A = this chain, B = another copy of it.
Amino acid sequence: MSEHEQILGILRAKNKNPIQLDPFRTALIVVDMQRYFTQPSFPFTEVFDKLSPGAAVGYLTRVRETVIPSIQRLLACFRATRSPIVITAVGSETREGNDFPCWLRAFDELGLATLGSRIWPPVDDPSWEIDEALKPQPRELVLNKLSAGTFTTTGLEQRLRHQNVESVVVTGVATDVCVSTTAREAADRGFKTVVVSDACTTLSAQLHQANLETLHVFGWVQTAEEVITLVRGALRSA
């Protein structure tokens, strides 16, 4: 058995510990499922396709066929219990991209050099909106962030604490960037953290998988079906 297989074996064994999720103290976080991230014909995927034709095809397929349906099922489950739902987005609030940290500006510059347009939309652009298939309902918190993580540039920690949340279920795109950073931030702040393996993806399926392996360290990696079963089980026994 290789070193890698040994380590994965240990991390996955750790993940077998049972999770206790109190549905009334668990928030669903849907990361950056905005139109420009989920649909073709926007600079985010265009720049990848321009740099390497076809590079974003698999990503967009996984978003459409797997991630969106999984998040829809999770939203239905969390809406049924009126549990907190947090929907994040990335966009420039000044409209000029000068409110981004330098690593996000580097992508805008890549877009300008490659396509002649910035990657990240202003917050009032139609492409900034959450994908129609996951339309937020009134009372669901929509937070614009200027970062990969959700906690750094929003007051999410306080919003969760004040509502007595103790666990978070993280979904969205992309697994290795905004999802992974948000999950790490949540775990480091003491929240029990579940990342939903079939409710997130990234441009390389292999990087998606490698990132999930590490996320076992910070909590649990589960399928949407497993999370829904946990929540429903907790409700029945409540």
Seen from chain A, the residues whose Cβ lies within 8 Å of a Cβ on chain B are 1, 3-4, 6-10, 13-14, 17, 48, 51-52, 54-55, 58, 84, 93-95, 98-103, 106, 110, 124, 138-139, 141, 145-149, 152-155, 158-159, 161-163, 176-177, 180-181, 184-185, 187-193, 203-207, 210-211, 213-214, 217-219
Assembly of this chain: how many copies? 4
**A159, B146: Cβ atoms closer than 8 Å:** yes
Chosen A-B contacts, 19 in total, with CB atoms closer than 8 Å, are A4-B205, A4-B206, A7-B48, A7-B204, A94-B163, A100-B162, A101-B158, A101-B188, A101-B191, A103-B193, A146-B155, A147-B158, A152-B158, A154-B155, A158-B189, A176-B217, A177-B218, A181-B184, A206-B210
A95 proximity list for chain B (CB < 8 A): 139
In the complex, what distance in Å separates the CA atom of A51 from the CA atom of B84?
A: 35
Taking the closest CB of chain B, its distance from the CB of A53, in whole angstroms, is: 9
In the complex, what distance in Å separates the CA atom of A171 from the CA atom of B202?
A: 26
With both beta carbons as reference points, the residue of chain B lying nearest to A177 in the complex is identified as: B217
Kindly identify which residue among B4, B110, B124, B187 contacts A204, using a CB–CB cutoff of 8 Å.
B4
In the complex, what distance in Å separates the CA atom of A158 from the CA atom of B156?
A: 14
Q: Given A110-B14, A158-B101, are A149 and B219 also a contact pair (CB < 8 Å)? A: no
A180 proximity list for chain B (CB < 8 A): 184, 214
Q: A94-B141, A147-B155 are in contact. List 6 more A-B contacts (CB 8 A).
A: A3-B58, A3-B205, A6-B48, A7-B204, A161-B189, A162-B190
**B106, A6: Cβ atoms closer than 8 Å:** no
A149 proximity list for chain B (CB < 8 A): 184-185, 188
A158 proximity list for chain B (CB < 8 A): 101, 146-147, 152-153, 188-190
A3 proximity list for chain B (CB < 8 A): 55, 58, 203-206
A10 proximity list for chain B (CB < 8 A): 48, 51-52, 55
**A99, B58: Cβ atoms closer than 8 Å:** no
Taking the closest CB of chain B, its distance from the CB of A158, in whole angstroms, is: 5
Of A7, A99, A124, A192, most buried by chain B (CB within 10 Å of CB) is A7
Taking the closest CB of chain B, its distance from the CB of A104, in whole angstroms, is: 9
A211 proximity list for chain B (CB < 8 A): 210-211, 214
With both beta carbons as reference points, the residue of chain B lying nearest to A193 in the complex is identified as: B103
